[in-house]
Amino acid sequence: MTDQAYTFAYLDEQTKRMIRRALLKALAVPGYQVPFASREMPMPYGWGTGGVQVTAACLVPEDRLKVIDQGADDTTNAVSIRRFFARTAGVATTEATAEATLIQTRHRIPEQPLREGQILVYQVPIPEPLRFLEPRETETRKMHELEEYGLMHVKLYEDIARHGTIATSYAYPVKVEGRYVMDPSPIPKFDNPKLSGNAAIQLFGAGREQRIYALPPYTAVVSLDFDDHPFTASKPGHACDLCGAAHSYLDEVITDDAGGRMFVCSDTDFCAGRRREGHQGRLGGQA
């Protein structure tokens, strides 16, 4: 069997139509989780089956695809999904955020601001923000219907009671256009402000949980908080050790067994771009 034996972008046409109809309804009701008949994909659940199906339904042959996993272009998940679409859709790929027309992401929003015409597809493990507070789907659906989100504020309040601050640091719940509470997927809360007013179309796919939701461009997205405990987009208090960036999200890397560590940008394209421009961090000369 050759690569040409696949239809464009792997999925059959009827499946793509079903996903496309769900995407349109998701865009019409921002933040609402649209059920869809998720298919088995040639990769295990948890590896982005939802994101891959959304990407497959959106791709056109002219697209330039970028795939990132925790900000990195060169990790297993990102490489395998990028190769999957290079094979089954024949699309061009890139690691540069600015050149990409469609970006599939696992758990990060690129540091470089997105522009009109770009699409950001998120891989979502648990789409229901209320799931760990209320395990029954019948109940959480009713809570969304009635805008009954008090439980989420109780959870954030319990954070404050126990830790003194809101300790939720990723998958931080947001409210979309003053209506639906939405899980932004497990992005660090550092990325939450980029959800709001973004020029790109943001699509969220959860394969195992069979849900699709979306944020049209320039949608108002507010991170939940309290007047006396306002939301803060926190990050480690360091600069990148490679490129010196002070305002990017950082990964901590253990470098030896004597307590040595370094902090590096989680967005590899952003970090490499800065180093090409001559920026250098604490360890930039050695790495």
Partner 1 sequence: MNAQALSGGFAEAPLQSARAFRAVMEAMARPGTLHEVTGAAPPAPLSVAAGVVLLTLCDDTTPLHLAGACDTPALRDWVAFHIGAPLVPAPEAQFALGRWADLMPVNRFAIGQPDYPDRSATLIVEMPDLRAGGARLTGPGIRTEARLTLPGVAAHQANHARFPLGFDLILTGDSRLAALPRSTRVEAE
Q: Based on the number of CB atoms within 10 Å of its own CB, is 256 exposed (0-12), middle (13-18) or buried (19 or more)?
A: exposed
Candidate list 134, 148, 159, 177; residue touching partner 1; CB under 8 A: 177
Two tokens at 107? 């758990």
User: What minimum distance in Å lies between the beta carbon of 275 and partner 1?
Assistant: 33
Q: Which stretch binds partner 1 (CB under 8 A): 10-18, 42-50, 225-233, 244-252?
A: 10-18
Interface stretch with partner 1, choices 25-33, 107-115, 126-134, 279-287 (CB under 8 A): 25-33
Q: Does 20 bind partner 1 (CB under 8 A)?
A: yes
Residue 130 carries which side chain, given as an amino acid letter? Answer: L
Considering only 115, 179, 226, 232, the residue that binds partner 1 (CB under 8 A) is 179
Active-site residue (options: 50, 71, 207, 240): 240
Q: Which helix (H) or strand (E) holds 84?
A: helix 76-88
Identify whether 31 is a catalytic site residue.
Answer: yes
Per CB under 8 A, the list member of 27, 68, 174, 262 interacting with partner 1 is 27
d(CA 156, CA 1): 53
Which residue type occupies 52? V
DSSP codes joined into one string, 107-166: S---SSPP-TT-EEEEE-S---TTTTT---HHHHHHHHHTT--HHHHHHHHHHHHHHSS-
Binder of partner 1 out of 78, 215, 224, 245 (CB under 8 A): 215
Annotation marks residue 58 as catalytic: no
Residues in 132-161 that interact with partner 1 by CB under 8 A:
141-142, 144-145
Q: Which is nearer to partner 1, 51 or 188 (CB)?
A: 51
Q: How many CB atoms lie within 10 A of CB 43?
A: 15
49-58 and 13-28 helices, crossing angle to 10°: 100
By the rule CB under 8 A, 18 interacts with partner 1:
yes
271 is catalytic: yes
> Strand, helix or coil at 61?
coil
Distance CA 246, CA 237 (A): 8
The residue count for binding partner 1 (CB under 8 A) is: 43
Please give the residue ranges that form the binding site for partner 1 (CB under 8 A). 7-9, 13-14, 16-18, 20-30, 32, 34-35, 57-61, 141-142, 144-145, 177, 179-180, 199, 201, 214-220
- The set of catalytic residues is 31, 240, 243, 265, 271
